[in-house]
Amino acid sequence: MDKLRVIVSGGGTGGHIYPAMALIKRLKQRDMIEDVLYVGTEKGLESKIVKQAGLKFETIEISGFKRKLTVENIKVMQLFLSSIGKSKKIIKNFKPDIVIGTGGYVSSAIVYAAHSKHVPTVIHEQNTIAGVTNKFLGHFVDKIAIAFKEAQNQFSEKRKIVFTGNPRAQEVVGIKPNDRLKELGLKSGVSTVMIFGGSRGATPINNAAINAMDKFLNENYQVLFITGQAHFEAATKKIDKKYLNSENISVLPYIDNMPEILPDINLIVGRSGATSIAEITALGIPSIFIPSPYVTHDHQTKNAMTVAQNGAAKMIPEAELTSELLFDEINKIMNDSDTRLKMSKASKEIGVPDAADRLIKVLTDLVNK
């Protein structure tokens, strides 16, 4: 097969961007790309991430629709129509073999424009609850790739749906245990729980962890507590120095290259975003999810429930989170190797370690059709 010319678009949050980047990385590893172009917005997170990766990057001006009928939606519609015009020019100049959208309103214009110009199109939905953009695009694209089987109920055209998993999973599955825990102030080879509220941190999770420090101090496992950059100073002011200087507790603002340490983690406590779940289940790590209640359609709760129902995780609603409950749930798992083993097995059973290759097969089948 000839190498592909590929346009990829997704933005707004890392949950849309990282699967796109993982797909591009895998296509390059397999030497399947002639050229690749990422289409995003200048203000979006994708601008920083894609540029740092050294990929070709073009921008369109577009914004999301408001959920209520407002005058502002007229401006949004005007932006959408003009962004379709620019997207058609991008497609004409780049001449892609296929266009892939991974979510976020930025992907709507380029994918719709590709459809109108009869270029094969695919969207990828990472969550159990589909985003507004993907629901809209589902009527026009050739294929709908999903990361959770439960998401198929979100789309009316079932014949288009293909279960692939999340490409991010394949990016982490090859990582082996290493000695990075030593670099983080902990010991290698000791059972470790990581508490992490996401790159920005999460105050309720941080507060519960801080108030449980005295209980963690004398346990026979280690605690890696990542506060998030914005919360680090405030968090460390609340923590007694004896915990900060403890041999089995490490408190850090953030960790670069987070996936590298995951094979040495025995339990993860944190949010239930699609990217996190893809990584966790690919590696078969037991988890305790505390979903963010502030995301669209409460999709993190639905994500967490799906994994918990399979026995791979426990879920604590943020409204019910206390330091006592957090410690008790962590202790039950960390002090019971049989429970951890069962959860790990269940996690691997729902993980999709070849997700990127599955999605690539969808692309190549369409191009070769």
> Does the annotation list 14 as a binding residue?
yes
Half-sphere exposure of 305 (CA within 13 A, CB side): 11
Averaged pLDDT for residues 1-8: 92
Integer Cα distance of 322 and 194 in angstroms:
17
Contact 180, 213 (CB under 8 A): no
Is the Cβ–Cβ distance between 286 and 313 less than 8 Å? yes
214 and 330 housed in the same domain: yes
- The proportion of the chain whose per-residue pLDDT surpasses 70, expressed as a percent, equals 96
229 and 211 belong to one structural domain: yes
Q: Which of the listed ranges 12-21, 136-145, 172-181 does the model predict with the highest average pLDDT?
A: 136-145
- Same-domain status, 136 and 277: no
Domain containing residue 109: CATH number: 3.40.50.2000
Residue 13 marked as a ligand binder: yes
Q: For residue 9, what are the contacts with CB-CB under 8 A and spacing of at least 6? A: 20, 38, 39, 40, 99, 100, 101, 102, 106, 107, 110, 111
156 lies in the same domain as 251: no
Global confidence as pTM: 0.89
Task: Please state, in angstroms and rounded to a whole number, the distance separating the CA atoms of residues 273 and 228.
Answer: 16
pLDDT at residue 132 greater than cutoff 90 = no
Give a yes or no: residue 40 inside a domain: yes
Say yes or no: 262 and 143 in one domain: no
The residue assigned the tokens 């405030």 is 234
Q: Is 126 annotated as a binding residue?
A: no
Q: With respect to residue 173, please indicate whether it lies within any of the assigned structural domains.
A: no
User: How many separate helices (H) and strands (E) can be counted in the chain?
Assistant: 16, 13
Could you give the maximum distance between any two Cα atoms of the chain, in Å? 64
Q: What is the CA radius of gyration of the chain?
A: 21
Instruction: Please tell me the number of Cα atoms within 13 Å of 350 on its side-chain side.
Output: 27
Answer yes or no: do 363 and 294 share one domain: no
What residue has token string 């989170």? 321
145: exposed, middle or buried (C-beta count within 10 Å: 0-12, 13-18, 19+)? Answer: buried
Look at residue 167 in the predicted model and tell me its pLDDT: 97
Range of the domain at 121: 4-168+353-367
Tell me: do 335 and 358 sit in the same domain.
Answer: no
Please name which of 95, 136, 76 lies closest in space to residue 112, comparing C-alpha atoms: 136
**Torsion, Cα of 167, 173, 175, 181 (10° steps):** 100
Judgement on whether residues 75 and 36 belong to the same structural domain of the protein: yes
pLDDT higher than 90, residue 105 = no
Half-sphere exposure of 332 (CA within 13 A, CB side): 12
Angstrom distance (rounded) from CA 199 to CA 220: 28
SS3 state at 174:
coil
Decide if 63 is inside a domain.
Answer: yes
Beta carbons within 8 Å of 337's beta carbon, 6+ residues apart:
none
Locate all alpha helices (DSSP H) within 62-142, ordered by sequence: 72-94, 106-116, 132-137
Terminal C-alpha separation, the chain: 12
Q: Which token pair is 192?
A: 């470790």
User: Is 178 one of the annotated binding-site residues?
Assistant: no
Does some domain include residue 175? no
Same domain, 111 and 187: no
Q: Are residues 153 and 189 in the same domain?
A: no
Are residues 362 and 309 part of one domain? no
The pLDDT of residue 115 is 98
Q: What is the total count of domains within the chain? A: 2
Residue 301 marked as a ligand binder: no
Q: In this predicted model, what pLDDT tens digit does every residue of 160-212 receive, in sequence order?
A: 999 999 999 999 998 988 889 999 999 999 999 999 998 778 999 999 999 99
Which pLDDT value is given to residue 73?
60
234 with 342, same domain? yes
SS3 content of the chain, % helix, strand, coil (to 5): 50, 15, 35
CB of 274 closer than 8 Å to CB of 291: no
Residue 174 maps to a domain: no
